[in-house]
A and B are shown apart, each in its own frame.
Chain A
Amino acid sequence: MKVAVCVKQIPDPADPGAIDPETKTLKRDVKLILDESDSYGVEMALQLVGEDGEVVLVSMVPNNERNGLNNALAMGADSAILVSDDALSGSDALSTAKVLAAAIQKTEPDLVLAATESSDGYTGTVPEQIAELLGLPSVTFAKEVTVVGESVAVKRQTEDGYDEVDCPLPALVSVTAGVVEPRYPSFKGIMAAKSKPVEQFSLGDLGIETTTVGWAGSRQEIVSIEPAPAREAGEIVEDEGDGHEKIVTFLQEMKVI
């Protein structure tokens, strides 16, 4: 069985930086890391394929960055496909999906895994867009995935609980964070990652016009960026054994107790 996992390399969420006033997007001149949300998909893929299967990473960046990919390869993925092209800068969700779908077609997997959403853009539509572009059935927001013969059985998160869903392969599944415990790369894994194949493509290699992605392809414009109405901080006090009393008084004033 071959599983393709979509992974994104993002600025460290602990230090997300700032918006570039020129381009009106997040500054990305920092080192990129593997989106933690994607580590769950990588781990799930490794568990699903076992000893005999193959895990292929699929990713795109504007700047040749491989740091995050190396991390996922060190976890145990077998190889990676990286689409890197200057023209990808500013790509929206649909453009991103078009590029990833084209890259996934290069590897013809039985199953495509993705996170439900990235930790920097949060659009949460890319997995379903990839599925539609590839003509695949899909199950999103999976909290448990089992391969049963030629299909997957998925527990899918819902507003009130969960649904059990059966879906024939090939298919796409998006997984919620916390579904599995991502492994830490071992020293051996880190060393092995250095010699694993990373196939790199430009947009031209994939037959994608540069005008359909990036800024040009997004067909939206940022009209303005404004500070949101600020919420003012109230009373901040050091607990000297009486912190709970202050909370009780506050709750009484709010008529909660």
Chain B
Amino acid sequence: MANIWIHAETTEGVVSTITLELLAKARELGDVTAFHAGSDAEQAAVELGAHGASRILTTGDLDNGLPGPALASAVAAKASEESPQAILFGTTYGGRDVAGRLSVKMDAPVITNIVDLLDDDGLTGVEPVFGGTTNVMTRFTGETAGIFLIRPKSFTAEEAGGSPATVETLSIPDLGTTGSAKITNRFVEESDGPKLDEAAIVVSGGRGLGEADNFQMIENLAGKLGGAPGASRAIVDAGWVPYSYQVGQTGKVVKPDVYIAAGISGATQHMVGMKGSKTIIAINKDPEAPIFSIADLGIVGDVHKVLPALLAAIGD
């Protein structure tokens, strides 16, 4: 049976959604080992086991160090003894840090932006390109295990009824100066509504809004519909809204029941992040905008007229 290793991310013993998504796929492919940084592996063992991990390899407490260098060094040492067939990461801030360091430690290549894994004469990753219109299938040809970085919401998290995972502490090799970055403070940015990547309704604004103040219409509409506001990369880059609002290849991947794109033309980088929505409504003044090619309802019109009318029509 193949040995599949996955990066497990937890917060105070609660396993992150993307980790559970990885487990749903990994347990189909072989026996699953989760590797983890932090002091909460014991707490997470039941949930990780229920989703299909038989073992957790953990660094234990890292004294506020960023996890990348320590976890990558420890996992590389262990992997050289046990030779897993594949190593899977979620595309998260932490996941990319550990994956980058690990690829150097193991001299292993990475395949990124994967939305599906096919077990067909060696594991093959499926990567969407050109706004999701084309899929590229890639597999490793070398001797070492390959590293796959998998996008959120590629698989559906589901319990499999396994017993708690066993916990094994990794020894951390000497990190030199690489481990010297320390977290001094953590800030959680609270928002009133649902989280962008979990909301059933997402209302996103783009450059077509004209100016930063008009984003308030997006916030208002999201609020009225009980959804979350989002944004295209163009207006995040322009500084209108924080990076955490960004929907797209570079930002969050969303799959709500209804996605409303207002003043967004539909650049490749945006479409990849919202194409999986159940239904899409687009408002844009350019009838040629690519967003219309995937919209269930497209309104060719001025967002400055349609949005105020829509807000008034919905009422409170």
A129 adjacent to chain B (CB < 8 Å): yes
On whether the beta carbons of B69 and A137 are closer than 8 Å, the reply is yes
Question: A157 interface residue, CB < 8 Å from B?
Answer: yes
- Once bound together, how far apart are the Cα atoms of A155 and B88, in whole Å? 27
Contact, CB under 8 Å: A140 / B305: no
Q: For A131, A181, A226, which residue has the most chain B Cβ atoms within 10 angstroms?
A: A131
- Which residues of the partner chain B approach A226 to less than 8 Å between Cβ atoms? 134-135, 137
A251 interface contact, C-beta 8 A: yes
Which applies to chain A's interface (DSSP): helix, strand, loop or mixed? mixed
Residue contact B72 to A125, C-beta cutoff 8 Å:
no
Q: Check A238 against B300 for contact (C-beta < 8 Å).
A: yes
Interface size on A, residues (CB 8 A): 81
Q: How far is the CA of A231 from the CA of B178 in the complex (A)?
A: 46
> Which listed residue (B108, B244, B281, B293) contacts A233, Cβ 8 A?
B293
Closest to A26 in B: B129
Q: Mark A219-231, 1 if CB is under 8 A from B, else 0.
A: 1111111111011
B207 shortest CB reach to chain A, Å:
13
Pairwise interchain contact B134-A228, C-beta atoms closer than 8 A: yes
Establish whether residues B112 and A123, one from each chain, have CB atoms under 8 Å apart when the complex forms.
Answer: yes
Say how far A186's CB is from chain B's closest CB, in angstroms: 21
B91 in contact with A237 (CB, 8 Å): no
Q: Compute how far the CA of A85 lies from the CA of B177 in the bound complex, rounded to whole angstroms.
A: 32
> Contact: B182 with A165, CB < 8 Å?
yes
Least CB separation from B276: chain A residue? A231
Contacts of B72 in A (CB 8 A): 132
Interface flag for A22 (CB, 8 Å): no
State which residues 18-61 of A face B: CB under 8 Å. 19, 24, 36
Is there an interface contact between B268 and A16, defined as CB atoms closer than 8 Å?
A: yes
Taking CB atoms, residues of chain A closer than 8 Å to B97 are: 128, 138, 140
Contact A228 B243 (CB under 8 A): no
Q: Tell me the bound Cα distance from A209 to B3 in angstroms.
A: 32
Contact of A138 among B68, B281, B293 (CB under 8 A): B68
Q: Which residues of A contact B13 (CB under 8 A)?
A: none
Point out which of B134, B139, B250 has the most chain A C-beta atoms below 10 A from its C-beta.
B250
| B104, A94: Cβ atoms closer than 8 Å | yes
B239 CB to closest chain A CB (Å) equals: 5
Interface-facing stretch out of B23-31, B50-58, B157-165, B230-238: B230-238
Q: Is A218 a contact of B100 with CB atoms below 8 Å?
A: no
Pairwise interchain contact A231-B275, C-beta atoms closer than 8 A? yes
Q: Does A124 contact B (CB under 8 A)?
A: yes
The answer to whether residues A221 and B243 also contact, given A126-B100, A133-B104, A162-B189 and a CB cut-off of 8 A, is no
Query: Is the pair B130, A16 in contact by a Cβ cutoff of 8 Å?
Result: yes
Stretch at the interface among A72-80, A103-111, A241-249: A241-249
Beta-carbon contact of A125 and B258 below 8 Å: no
Tell me if A234 counts as interface (CB < 8 A to partner B). yes
Could you tell me the distance between the alpha carbons of A166 and B137 in the complex, rounded to whole angstroms? 40
Query: A219: which of B134, B142, B181 is its contact (CB, 8 Å)?
Result: B142
Residues of A within 8 A of B108 (CB): 94
Q: Is the CB of B187 within 8 A of A162?
A: yes
Smallest CB–CB gap between B76 and chain A, Å? 10
Question: Contacting chain A: which of B33-41, B77-85, B212-220, B307-315?
Answer: B307-315
Of B137, B267, B287, chain A has the most CB atoms within 10 Å of the CB of: B137
Would B297 and A246 count as touching, CB distance under 8 A?
yes
Whether A128 touches B243, Cβ cut-off 8 Å, given contacts A165-B183, A177-B233, A256-B225, is: no
Name the A residues within 8 Å of B267 (CB-CB): 13
State which residues 136-171 of B face A: CB under 8 Å: 136-142, 146, 149
A interface with B by C-beta (< 8 Å): 13, 16, 19, 24, 36, 92-94, 97, 116-117, 119, 122-129, 131-133, 135-141, 143, 156-168, 171, 176-178, 181, 218-228, 230-231, 233-239, 241, 243-248, 250-251, 254, 256-257
Give me the interface of B with A, judged by CB distance under 8 Å.
16, 66, 68-69, 72, 91-93, 96-97, 99-101, 103-105, 107-113, 124, 128-130, 132-142, 146, 149, 176-189, 201, 225, 233, 236-239, 243-244, 249-250, 257-258, 260, 267-269, 275, 279, 281, 283, 287, 292-302, 305-307, 309-310, 313-314
Could you list 5 examples of A-B contacts with CB < 8 Å? A122-B113, A167-B181, A222-B137, A239-B306, A250-B279
